A and B are shown apart, each in its own frame.
Chain A
Amino acid sequence: MNQYKADLHIHTLLSPCGDLEMSPRNIISAAKQRGLHILGITDHNSTFQAPLVKELGQEAGLFVLCGAEVTTREEIHCLAFFEDDHTLQLFQEYIEDHIPHIPNVPEKFGYQVVVDREETILQHYPWLLINGLDQSLEEVAAKVHSLQGIFIPAHVSRPKFSIISQLGFIPPDLDADALEISRHTTREELFEQFSYLMRWSIIQSSDAHFPEDIGLVYSLFEMEKPTFEEIKKALAGQDGRRVIPSKSLQKP
């Protein structure tokens, strides 16, 4: 079994709160520097910038999961990943159908730009991306799974925009593939507080909005090779595959 360092929660300059230095090219070079093998590109309610990061990642020998950090009606942040361009596109259409048409004000919230390889701006996305879709947590989970995607509630114990801050506790029957914790806590702290969460795999990610944050924490995947299917298996703990949050790794 091989080991892969994965940071599955990275914003690009498309997110209004993402630094303009978070261009696809800069993200790939920072990830290489930090020794990561797998990246997840998760802009707020948008998938537009992820395919270019994937393309540059392929050229640099990195595996990139394309997805988004969706805000549900309850204002819970959730990561969603898709295997191919087709399902990613279908999920983008779902977002477009459900995002409120409230214009972004870049001076207040930040720029929402899509760039090309040369970092030329192709588009300013019009609607504010940090708003909640008019879809519940369970509806988003069901949509992601109908597209054979991966659904992971983000930074679950953070005091804002998390499933625990918004809903008080995680519904035990939630259809999630894993739970994510932020860089500020550990899996052990989470399980100490909420022991019933032990049935889920826990990933840890940087939620990077600046290049220097990429890979600050990560998830170590033990699996055969870096593919979407293997990642799914590791999250499900199948066939000897597993995932370990970086802060829970044994120190040598």
Chain B
Amino acid sequence: MKVKELVEKLGLQVFAGHQGLEKEITGGYCADLLSDVMGNSQQGMVWITLQSHKNVIAVASLKELSAVILVNGVKPNADAAEQADAEGIPILGTSARAFEMAGKLWHLLTT
């Protein structure tokens, strides 16, 4: 599934990184500790988090993640959005909680 299909199916907001919407999604990872994401996420995953710091984009870029979903209505810090535009990594948003978003993503990717 592509990031843009995920956006449509789950009604997500696109904050930044629009040019990355064609990326292919291979799975998901859910964590708020960036050190954990650096260690355990894998290429192509969508990362569900409430961290909005610009380091999120650096980690997503390093790990070649397909997109970041900010939950709980969190908006990206301004410098994070800028970085996401520069790197082409979509930052998506939802008012849903991480549990709910992970459940929906799981369902979409496995059924």
Contact = CB atoms under 8 A, between A and B. Distances in A.
Contacts of A169: 34, 55, 58
A164 interface: yes
Given A136-B53, A137-B53, A168 B38 contact: yes
A136 B53 CA distance: 8
Contact of A74 (B38, B53, B79): B53
Question: Interface range on chain A: under 10, 10 to 19, 20 to 34, or 35 or more?
Answer: 10 to 19
Contacts of B66: none
B109 interface: no
Contact of A168 (B35, B52, B79): B35
A238 B37 CA distance: 38
What 7 pairs between A and B have smallest CB-CB spacing?
A168-B34, A167-B55, A168-B38, A167-B34, A168-B35, A165-B35, A168-B59
Nearest to B37: A168
A131 interface: no
Interface residues of B, number: 15
Interface of B: 32-35, 37-38, 51-55, 58-59, 77, 79
B109 to A, nearest CB: 25
B27 to A, nearest CB: 20
Contact of A171 (B33, B51, B52, B54): B54
A137 B77 CA distance: 11
Contacts of B34: 166-169
Contacts of B33: 165-166
Nearest to A72: B53
Interface string A130-174: 000000111000000000000000000001000011111101000
Interface string A169-187: 1010000000000000000
9 contacts: A74-B53, A136-B53, A136-B77, A159-B35, A166-B35, A167-B35, A167-B53, A168-B37, A168-B38
